[in-house]
Structures are given as C-alpha cells and as structure tokens.
Structure 1
Amino acid sequence: MTLSPAEFEVAQLGERTVASPLSDTRFVAESDRVLFRDDLASLRSALENGVAPLSFELAGPRERIFFDPANVKCAIVTCGGLCPGLNDAVRAIVIGLRDKYGVDDVLGLRFGFEGLVESYGHKPVQLTRQRVGWIQERGGTVLGTSRGAQPATDMVDTLERLGIDVLFAVGGDGTLKGAHEVALEIRRRNLSIGVIGVPKTIDNDISFVETSFGFETAVAAARNATQAAYVEASGHRNGIGLVKLMGRDSGFIAGFAALADTHVGMCLIPESPFSLDGVVRAVLSRIELDGHAVVIVAEGAGQDLLAASDQSDASGNVRYGDIGVFLKEQIPKLARSNGVDVSLKYIDPSYMIRSLPANTRDAAFCQLLGFAAVDAGMAGKTDIVVGLWRRRFTHVPIPLAVSTRKKVNVDGRLWQGVLSATGQPRDLR
C-alpha cells in the first residue's frame, strides 16, 4: 500500500477548552507520535525526501479535554461475534468514565447496532459501577450482540434522542465500518458526538492494529484442542487428529496455535493455497515418520476446493464452506486409495473458545484499551479506533483501519516459523 501522512491524521470534534480532572498522571501531547515503520531504510528514505515519517497519534490522557465530565453522556455497544474479553472492555470503559473522569451517565445499548434503531425496541440499560463490577468473570457480553448493518441515519437519530455525546463501539471490521458511517452522518449533521472504536476480533485481522483482544485467549484455548487431537491420533494406528480453528480470511490463530504445540505436523491457512492431494501426501509422510499426524486448518482455508456459495451472513460476509468437514471426509478416502487405512478424529472447538472469559493477559489488555478509549472520547477524538503499535497505545483513523484486512505474510517470520515447527512442505499444491 502507498500511504500518506494525511491518512494517519485523527479527526477532532473541536477545541479542547476544559481542564482535565485527572491528577497524578502523565499527560500526552498532540505532538507525541508512534512511528509506523521503524526500520532504518524507511526512516532514511523519508528524511532524504524531506517528508516526515509515517506515524500514529499516541493515545492517552490530554491536559485539556473537549467534554465537561459533569455534562457528558456516553453509550457503549458491542457488535459481531462473541469473543473473550468483551465484558472486560465494557467494564473498563465504564470504570474509566466514572472513576477517572467522574462521568455519571453511561448507557449500555442492547444487541449491537440494533440497540441504536428505535424500531427494534431494545431499551438501553444504565451501566453503574455495581452493575459492571462482576461481568469480567464471565464470557460473552452482558449487553448482547448482533450482526448486520443498520441505517446510519436511524442510529444517529437515536444518539440525538438519547442525548449521547460519545459512542464507544466494541467490535471488529464490520463494526468499525458501521461506526465510520455513523461518524460520517454525525459530521453531515454538524453534531458534536464522538465515535470511538475498540478493536475486537478473535481472528486478529484488523489492519494497523498490532493485536486485538481475545486473540491470546483463543490461542491458549486452541492448544487444549490440539493436545486432545494429539492424544487421539497417537492412540490409534495411522491416527490423524484434525482441528478446525477460527480464521475466515487470516490464519493468525492457526499459525500461533501450531507454534504453541510441537505435536502439530501441519497447519493450513487461507493465505497459503493447497490441494487435497498435496495435503494427503504430506499427512501420509508424517504418519510414516511418527506413526500419527496432527493437522490444524483455519476455517477460511481451502475455499477453492469447495463449492462456491451465493449466500451471505447478516454482516454481508460470504458464507464459507466447511473445510473441516470436507477434509474429515476426503483425507481418509484418498489415503485408502493410496493403500493406507487411517483413523481420523475431528475437533471443532470454535464456539467453546469464543464463549470463554478472557485470560489474564487479555483481561489486562482490555483494561488498558478501555481506558485509552475513554481518554480519546473525552478529548473529543472521533472516527478512530484505539490500537496497539510497537507496545504503545495509538489512535488509528477508522478509514485506515478498515482499508484492508490484515493477513499472514507467507514470507514473514510467523509463517516461516510455522513451516519450521511443523516440518510441512512450503508448497502443498
């Protein structure tokens, strides 16, 4: 991609004239930036061409803020599929608003963006400190969620009717696109309502965001599935353990799960094409070497081997064929045609993983993300998602974050590490 400094610039609702109520804190200046690229060649090229290196605005509390905490009203919405950490993020935003800034009026909107359309009849709930005090202990989202685009005009009508000053939208790529449409409609109406995104995607596929919450919990839980697959595979003659993990278009969970479990002998992801013959040859080679094989496949891998679908889900995503079931049926059949009778056990833990509470690392990450979102909202930032880049929290303009989907680089360190760890051929076609 060819990027310009303008694409990294953050929208601001207006001049910040209110003194921050925060004390004993280090305030962040607008000039504080985080480099997008930090390699010497990129920095030298920018300097030689007389341009500033590309950089993100640093997240954090501002000394002067846009909203008066005594007169501000905020709302939180969770959208899309379930993911570990949703409740942690909601709780962090509520605690940040109430305890850090003294904001008394925080609403939770029910069932995703449906909660912003009056005709659905979902009543918002008041989010007090007591109401969210325990929610991080359970999975899912206490606010409920949904998929599907809602008219931005209707959603902004509801924001105006409720008197909302800042909307916090917790979700993935589709949620952020919806939040951007809301921000555009707000701008068209010349309203002073901030829209702040918090990146939630178990697939870790939001661009310009180093990692999203829920991903670490998902990888840790996936290891339980791969270890079960190993036990099953190693306990049978010519045993195969096949595990399907999340990852519609990006194979990050599958790749990290393969690195985390040395018993995995093959990892199949959407970014690296393969053929059924190539997979079976490699599986049989692994069985010949170890007596068994453990295979991970991401849900979006190998879609070219399946019948094309003309159906879409509520979010507009094409409904993918089930590569796990396909491989479960075809691998034994093709192995037998090669004179090898195999015993294949298939594990799909997707919904069990999605519904888990966040692990310790994700819980801490959600807390910091939520606080960064609150700081951005109170400062009058809008149409941005808070992210992490080079271990520092940043403000990423939503149009930049949704401009492309983050994918595994098959020439990069992650995939090269997977190939080394599994011992699988680079080309499985």
Structure 2
Amino acid sequence: MKVAIPARSDFETARLGECRFVSPFRASRFIDTEKRLLFRSDLDELRAQLDADVEPPSFELAGPREKIYFDPAELRCGIVTCGGLCPGLNDVIRSIVFCLHENYGVPTVYGFRFGYEGLVERYALAPIELTPRRVGQIHEIGGTVLGSSRGPQPVDQMVDTLERLGIRLLFTIGGDGTLRGAHSIVQEIRRRELGIAIVGVPKTIDNDISFIDMSFGFDTAVEAARQATRAAYVEASCARSGIGLVKLMGRDSGFIASFATLADTQVGVCLIPEVSFSIDDVVRAAERRIERDGFVVIVVAEGAGQHLLAEITECDASGNRRYADIGIHLRDQVKDAFRSGGRSVNIKYIDPSYMIRSLPANARDGNFCLRLGHAAVHAGMAGKTDTVVGSWRRRLTHVPIPLAVSSPKKVDIGGYLWQTVLAVTGQDTDSVGGR
C-alpha cells in the first residue's frame, strides 16, 4: 500500500521557542538547519511538483544544533517505555542517558516505570534516577529495565507529574499507541502553556510506523525469525510430505514475514495481512511445492487471514482489536484439507513470537539504537516537541507525531519487496500472491 503524499506543512516540526544557549556538545559538525531531506526521490514526481511551483515535501534532518533551547545545567528529563517488548529498548534508554549526562551535562534523568502508568500518581510507582553507571550494562539484556504497560492514562495527571518533578523534556519510546499518547500530552502541555518538550523514539517490531523506513528491533526480529524458518525447514524436509508452519509477528503489516522469507529461500508460501487468501489457496500452493520438493515451509503473519476466523470483538489495553490465532487455524485446516483429499501430511507448527521480541538487540540494531537515542536528545535539547526521530533513506530525521500516526505502514503488494517474495516462493499471483 502506497502512502499518500502529505502537504509540505505536514512535515514542519514544532518547537518550544528560540534557541538561545550555546550547545556544550562537542560535535565535529553541527546540522545545517536550512538543509532538508526529500520525502520522495522519484525524478518525475519532483519535476511535476517543481513545474507546478509546489515545494516538494521534505523532512527536517536530525542531529546536533549549535544553539539549543534548554539550559542543560537546570534541566530535568524523563524517559518512559510503553507497549509490547522489542529488542533494543534498553539500548535506547542507555543511549539517551549517556548522551544527556556526558554530552550535555544534564544532571537529572528519571525513568518512569511500567509505561504511562508510572506518570500517574495512583499507581505509586516512584521513578528511578538513571545514571550512566546504572544503565552501563543494560544493553546486554532484552526487555526494558523500566518495565512497560499498554493503554492510555489520564493526560492531566501525567502532566501534573511532569510539573511536580520539574521535568522539562520527556522521551517516549513506543509504537503508534505510545505516540498518540505523547501527542495528547503535548496538547495538554500547550493548553497549560508549559515549556515542556516531548520527543518520541519509534518502537515497533512490526516496522509499521509511516514515514519511517525502519524501526529499531526489526533487524533482530528478522534474524531470530530466520532461526524459526530454518527449524521448520529441517522438520519439514525430514518428513514425508512434511509441512513446516511458522507464525511470525505482524498484526496489520507483513514486513517481518516478508523479510524472513527472503532471508531463507526455503520458504514456499508467505501469507501477510495485506493479501487475502483462502484455505484452498494455501493448500494448492502447498501441494505444488510438495510435489516439486517433497515438503513445504509456510510463513504466516499473525494478522493474516483474519477474515477466515470468527471475529473477536474485545480489544487489548491499547485499544487494538484482539486477533484470533491464524497459526492454529491454518495448522488444523490445512491438515484436514489434505486428509479429506485422501493424502496425509506431517505438519510441525512453530510460534516463536515472545522469544523474538524478548531478545537483546543484535549488533546492527544496537548501533541503530545508539544513533536514535542521540538524535532524540539533540532534538529535545533544541526544543523540538511533538516529534519522533526516525530513519528515511539511511538519514535520521524529525517526523511530526501527527504525521507518523496518520496511517499504518503496510507492505506495497505492487512494490519491489512483495514482488521479490513472489519470485522467491513461486506463489500463484492469482491467489495467495495478491493480484
């Protein structure tokens, strides 16, 4: 699914005011605030916009500024992690703390415990003071040392806590629900006319936040998913008419499933939420692969095929509709379909979901987390607010939170990624291929 091109004004990053303090950050090069990164790089589109005298949409670049908004010596900061776990959360916390203390000389950084609940007084969750010594080794373990939770909390009470503790800069690490909560905090801050900045770091293992090409933890997740697909391959290839079925994360976007399929070309069928399919489609695709190779590996994203299941009306704490288990459904239905056709198959089902998201970040994600944490600090110190730091064509950018949460990012089934998946798996493009 292609993202609609927003207006130039939608990319403007909010800020608290004029930057009056000379930055203590000793950078070899500060960001030129006049330079921006184009949102689209297609030459024909750019020509059309320039011919129409329309300035092409572009991102503000992330990085250190020569002048900053806050006086570091008098600044108190906070960090909160929300939503589901994801590889790299501790890396981002550590990066932010080190950059604030060692590069800017900020004396006090609080970590709020168990998500937005830690900002509400009735939960009685005292914040933790974070120092470089305290966070020095946390990147070696998975999860978040601050804990996490889902769901909204009273915005007025959260801002009360920020005021009471003298927090002027809050970093929110989480997905679209966390970012929407951060935007609500910004709106309350504006209503009270307070000088508090809110900067987000995008955390989604599904990689489904728009206007950000890659979120931290995704690389680690794909690497771990590869272990599951390899196990499925071994199990399937060692059995007569073997089927290895792997369910991976991806509620509404099939990026993990797609990348994991490309990482291991033994996968014969890839099913994602963006492509509708029937059980008969899956069975036919599996039959063709079994006839050719003697076995098949099937990868399915957790949000795929929900139209085949009884709808669950209840929602989780974040307000997301709960999904039925497509993995179990596929396992049983495919086995029954083969049996009814007079043929038996040997199915091995693997669901590594929680094992994947609880891992520590790999080296590439660890590097990325450090850069994102530093970029978030630079943005906050410059008084940027209601913004999330992200990556676009390997450059770090500022993305206004309303733009980032405007719609979920999905796999473009006409794009290069999905077409490569089809080429690798040999799926029938008239059924499970998505045409």
Say whether the fold is shared (TM-score over 0.5): yes
Residue 35 of structure 1 corresponds to 38
SS at match of 2:347: strand
Equivalent position amino acid for 1:419 in 2: L
Distance in 1 separating the partners of 2:141 and 2:79: 18
Tell me if the contact between 1:89 and 1:370 (Cα under 8 Å) persists in the aligned partners: yes
Distance in 2 separating the partners of 1:211 and 1:15: 31
Superposition map of 1:276-295 within 5 A: 276-295=279-298
Distance in 1 separating the partners of 2:28 and 2:49: 34
Question: 2:175 aligned to 172, 175, 181, which one?
Answer: 172
Residue 274 of structure 2 corresponds to 271
Residue 51 of structure 2 corresponds to 48
Provide Cα deviations, 1:313-369, integer angstroms capped at 9, x if missing partner.
000000000000000111110011122100000000000001000000000000000
Distance in 2 separating the partners of 1:25 and 1:177: 35
Residue 153 of structure 2 corresponds to 150
Residue 326 of structure 2 corresponds to 323
Tell me if the contact between 1:65 and 1:380 (Cα under 8 Å) persists in the aligned partners: yes
Whether 1:413 aligns to 2:413 is no
Distance in 1 separating the partners of 2:27 and 2:339: 70
Tell me if the contact between 1:233 and 1:344 (Cα under 8 Å) persists in the aligned partners: yes
Distance in 2 separating the partners of 1:32 and 1:151: 39
Distance in 1 separating the partners of 2:218 and 2:320: 21
Superposition map of 1:84-95 within 5 A: 84-95=87-98
Residue range with higher mean Cα deviation, 1-10 or 240-249: 1-10
Tell me if the contact between 2:206 and 2:218 (Cα under 8 Å) persists in the aligned partners: yes
Question: How much has 1:25 moved relative to structure 2?
Answer: 2.4
Distance in 1 separating the partners of 2:34 and 2:45: 20
Equivalent position amino acid for 1:384 in 2: T
Change (3 A) 1:2 1:389: closer
Tell me if the contact between 1:116 and 1:154 (Cα under 8 Å) persists in the aligned partners: yes
Equivalent position amino acid for 1:215 in 2: F
Residue 231 of structure 1 corresponds to 234
Residue 261 of structure 1 corresponds to 264
Equivalent position amino acid for 1:207 in 2: S
Distance in 1 separating the partners of 2:52 and 2:121: 53
Whether 1:242 aligns to 2:245 is yes
Provide Cα deviations, 1:96-144, integer angstroms capped at 9, x if missing partner.
1011101110000000000111111111000011000000000000000
Distance in 2 separating the partners of 1:196 and 1:104: 19
Equivalent position amino acid for 1:117 in 2: V
Residue 431 of structure 2 corresponds to 428
Residue 389 of structure 2 corresponds to 386
Whether 1:59 aligns to 2:80 is no
Provide Cα deviations, 1:274-310, integer angstroms capped at 9, x if missing partner.
0011101111111111100000000000000000111
| Residue correspondences, number | 429
Equivalent position amino acid for 1:422 in 2: T
Gap regions ≥5 residues in structure 1: none
Distance in 1 separating the partners of 2:5 and 2:102: 42
SS at match of 2:296: strand
Question: How much has 1:424 moved relative to structure 2?
Answer: 1.1
Question: How much has 1:414 moved relative to structure 2?
Answer: 0.4
Residue 213 of structure 1 corresponds to 216
Distance in 2 separating the partners of 1:165 and 1:29: 25
Residue 365 of structure 1 corresponds to 368
Distance in 1 separating the partners of 2:27 and 2:8: 33
Distance in 2 separating the partners of 1:42 and 1:190: 40
Residue 355 of structure 2 corresponds to 352
SS at match of 1:297: strand
Question: 1:9 aligned to 8, 12, 17, which one?
Answer: 12
Tell me if the contact between 2:27 and 2:64 (Cα under 8 Å) persists in the aligned partners: no
Distance in 2 separating the partners of 1:284 and 1:185: 57
Q: Which runs of 4+ in 1 moved over 4 A?
A: none
Distance in 1 separating the partners of 2:5 and 2:36: 20
Equivalent position amino acid for 2:398 in 1: H
Question: How much has 1:14 moved relative to structure 2?
Answer: 0.7
Residue 343 of structure 2 corresponds to 340
SS at match of 2:229: helix
Question: 2:192 aligned to 185, 189, 192, which one?
Answer: 189
Distance in 2 separating the partners of 1:204 and 1:111: 22
SS at match of 1:321: coil
Question: How much has 1:29 moved relative to structure 2?
Answer: 2.6
Residue 137 of structure 2 corresponds to 134
Superposition map of 1:291-306 within 5 A: 291-306=294-309
Tell me if the contact between 1:274 and 1:427 (Cα under 8 Å) persists in the aligned partners: no
Provide Cα deviations, 1:221-240, integer angstroms capped at 9, x if missing partner.
00000000011001111000
Distance in 2 separating the partners of 1:158 and 1:427: 55
Question: 1:116 aligned to 119, 129, 154, which one?
Answer: 119
Equivalent position amino acid for 1:163 in 2: G
Q: TM-score, normalised by structure 1?
A: 0.99
Tell me if the contact between 2:172 and 2:199 (Cα under 8 Å) persists in the aligned partners: yes
Question: How much has 1:262 moved relative to structure 2?
Answer: 1.1
Distance in 2 separating the partners of 1:51 and 1:72: 40
SS at match of 1:265: strand
Question: How much has 1:39 moved relative to structure 2?
Answer: 1.1
Question: 1:105 aligned to 90, 104, 108, which one?
Answer: 108
Question: How much has 1:30 moved relative to structure 2?
Answer: 2.2
Question: How much has 1:2 moved relative to structure 2?
Answer: 4.5
Tell me if the contact between 2:312 and 2:321 (Cα under 8 Å) persists in the aligned partners: yes
Change (3 A) 1:196 1:24: closer
Q: TM-score, normalised by structure 2?
A: 0.98
